[in-house]
């Protein structure tokens, strides 16, 4: 098995969670794997310097593993350590020091809107702020290739949009591979989408191509006053048989039709 992932030649790919096992196999310990034209097997330290890696389920890790950048649904955060201390630690692992490290940490805290929580223990954070910190760690030190597994999982719609804007902005200077179960997230972030079923890559293409070839139904999103939410849902249900209310948050209704 062999793969070569050159910088800026990898469009973002969306897939289900089993993809992470494939990504890890292709980019870590498989003989003949290349990232940014660097042989991962022969020059792992050099390869890891340009990578941000985000496992879905955090496995038992060693110091060798922590050369990666981690972001996971079961986050790789220490509950008794602050956000600033997390970033300082990971920044040092990435080779930053002195004023350069301090500037990078302050910039990341500001970008992720964590300045007011920077000196509070991570164990006391909300789920959304934990996710922000995890992504901040993943993007720290400007990695050229980043792997994110469902980075906005568990966030409310407003925080999810904020996270998407951060990820989209980061894609301007690096290649990003991420996994998600949300087609909406795929539409918002990705130029190329892959769908995996039972560990097999079944299709690959742009969002519009996949929708035209395989899609059924549509997504209806409405903003209505709270007192009219019930009437709005009833209206859609009366016009589209089998429609399902997927989300209701701050006067925003999202329904799917078949």
On whether both 121 and 48 belong to a single domain, the answer is yes
Residue 202's domain spans which residues?
3-212
Tell which of 181, 197, 212 closes a domain.
212
Predicted local distance difference test score (pLDDT) of residue 71: 46
Identify the pLDDT of residue 83: 96
Same domain, 22 and 64: yes
Q: Please tell me the pTM assigned to this model.
A: 0.70
Q: Is the dihedral of CA 197, 201, 202, 203 positive or negative?
A: positive
- Same domain, yes or no: 139 and 220: no
Cβ–Cβ under 8 Å, residues 147 and 178:
yes
Share of the chain above pLDDT 70, in %: 79
Q: What is the CATH number of the domain that holds 14?
A: 3.40.50.300
* Same domain as 98, residue 49: yes
CA-to-CA distance for 179 and 160, rounded, in angstroms?
15
Taking CA atoms, 25 is separated from 28, 32, 40, 86, in Å, by 6, 11, 11, 27
- Looking at residue 66, its pLDDT comes to 42
Is residue 61 domain-shared with residue 140, that is, in the same domain? yes
Residue 144 and residue 230 in one domain? no
pLDDT score of 14 = 39
Report the largest interatomic distance among the alpha carbons of the chain, rounded to a whole angstrom.
63
Q: What is the pLDDT along the chain (258 residues), one digit of tens a residue?
A: 334 433 333 333 333 344 455 455 444 445 567 888 888 888 888 888 888 876 554 444 433 444 444 444 456 788 999 999 999 998 998 889 999 999 999 999 999 999 999 999 999 998 889 889 988 999 998 898 898 888 887 788 888 899 999 999 988 878 888 888 887 888 889 989 998 888 788 899 998 898 888 877 788 888 899 899 999 999 998 988 888 888 887 788 888 887
Q: Which two tokens stand for residue 215?
A: 């899609």
What whole-number distance in Å separates Cα of residue 151 and Cα of residue 72?
Answer: 8
Parallel, antiparallel or unpaired: strands 218-223 and 3-5: unpaired
Domains identified in the chain, total number = 2
CA count, 13 A, side-chain hemisphere, 19? 23
CA-based end-to-end distance of the chain = 40
Confidence at residue 234, expressed as pLDDT on a 0 to 100 scale:
92
Distance CA 28, CA 184 (A): 30
């Amino acid at each position: 098995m062999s793969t070569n992932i050159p910088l800026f030649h990898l469009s973002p790919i969306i897939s289900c969670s089993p993809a992470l096992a494939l990504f890890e196999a292709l980019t870590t310990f498989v003989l003949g794997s290349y990232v940014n034209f660097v042989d991962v097997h022969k020059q792992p330290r050099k390869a890891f310097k340009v990578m941000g890696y985000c496992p879905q389920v955090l496995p038992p890790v060693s110091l060798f593993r922590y050369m990666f950048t981690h972001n996971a649904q079961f986050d790789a955060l220490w509950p008794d350590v602050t956000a600033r201390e997390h970033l300082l630690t990971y920044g040092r692992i990435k080779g930053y020091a002195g004023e350069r490290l301090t500037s990078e940490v302050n910039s990341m805290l500001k970008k992720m809107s964590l300045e007011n929580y920077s000196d509070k223990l991570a164990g006391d954070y909300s789920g959304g702020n934990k996710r922000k910190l995890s992504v901040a760690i993943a993007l720290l030190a400007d990695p050229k290739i980043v792997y994110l597994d469902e980075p906005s999982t568990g966030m409310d719609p407003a925080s999810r949009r904020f996270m998407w804007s951060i990820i989209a902005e980061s894609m301007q200077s690096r290649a990003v591979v991420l996994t998600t179960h949300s087609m909406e997230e795929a539409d918002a972030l990705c130029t190329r989408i892959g769908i995996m079923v039972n560990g097999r890559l079944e299709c690959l293409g742009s969002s519009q191509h996949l929708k035209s070839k395989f899609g059924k139904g549509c997504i209806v999103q409405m903003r209505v006053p709270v007192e009219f939410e019930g009437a709005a849902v009833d209206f859609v249900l009366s016009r589209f048989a089998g429609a399902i209310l997927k989300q209701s948050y701050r006067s925003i209704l999202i329904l799917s039709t078949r």
